[in-house]
């Protein structure tokens, strides 16, 4: 049996389908770190962390913010079921900057009234949003 030459990538969030296309390579933010997938990859089911997924078609890379969920990898396809998934064009940079500042302020003055883990995740999410949006604008 011949190995596949591309992957069918499908990224779905809780509210919509974001990506459904053929790609050459994918890098996924797993809960235990990033992992790459090429055509012919061994089947696997992985939990997602929060991070930046990228996929490549030819020389062009596209970036997507992911927050938690699952990845199913088959030799010829990758299916991502994410709690949150955002394309660069969907990210409001002003709002992400404001969220980053709020989270940093909360973490700078810890009190019993705030949930430090929630603030840390908000900071991480805002930083990844800014990174994904910036990468897309640099390439344009």
Domain spans, the chain: 7-86, 91-139
Q: Is pTM, for the whole model, over 0.75?
A: yes
Write down the CATH superfamily of domain 91-139.
ATP synthase delta/epsilon subunit, C-terminal domain (1.20.5.440)
Retrieve residue 100's tokens: 């980053």
Q: What SS3 class is residue 65?
A: strand
Question: Does the domain at residues 7-86 carry the CATH identifier 2.60.15.10?
Answer: yes
Count each helix (H run) and each strand (E run) in the chain, helices first: 2, 7
pLDDT by residue for the chain (140 residues), tens digit each?
A: 688 999 999 999 989 999 999 999 999 999 999 999 999 999 999 999 999 999 999 999 999 999 999 999 999 999 999 999 999 888 888 898 898 888 888 788 767 666 778 888 888 888 988 988 887 665 54
Which of 102, 106, 96, 98 minimizes the C-alpha distance to 127? 96
Burial code (b: 16+ CB inside 10 Å, e: under 16) for 17-47 equals ebbeeebbbbbbbeeeeeeebebebeeeebe
């Amino acid at each position: 049996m011949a190995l596949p030459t591309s992957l069918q990538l499908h990224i779905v969030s809780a509210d919509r389908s974001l990506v459904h296309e053929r790609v050459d390579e994918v890098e996924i933010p797993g809960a235990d770190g990033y992992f790459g997938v090429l055509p012919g990859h061994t089947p696997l089911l992985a939990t997602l962390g929060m991070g930046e997924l990228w996929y490549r078609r030819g020389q062009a890379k596209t970036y997507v913010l992911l927050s938690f969920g699952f990845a199913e990898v088959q030799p010829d396809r990758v299916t991502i079921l994410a709690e949150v998934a955002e394309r660069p064009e969907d990210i409001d940079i002003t709002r992400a900057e404001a969220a980053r500042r709020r989270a940093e302020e909360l973490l700078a003055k810890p009190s019993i009234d705030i949930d430090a883990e929630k603030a840390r995740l908000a900071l991480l999410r805002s930083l990844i949003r800014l990174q994904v949006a910036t990468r897309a604008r640099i390439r344009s």
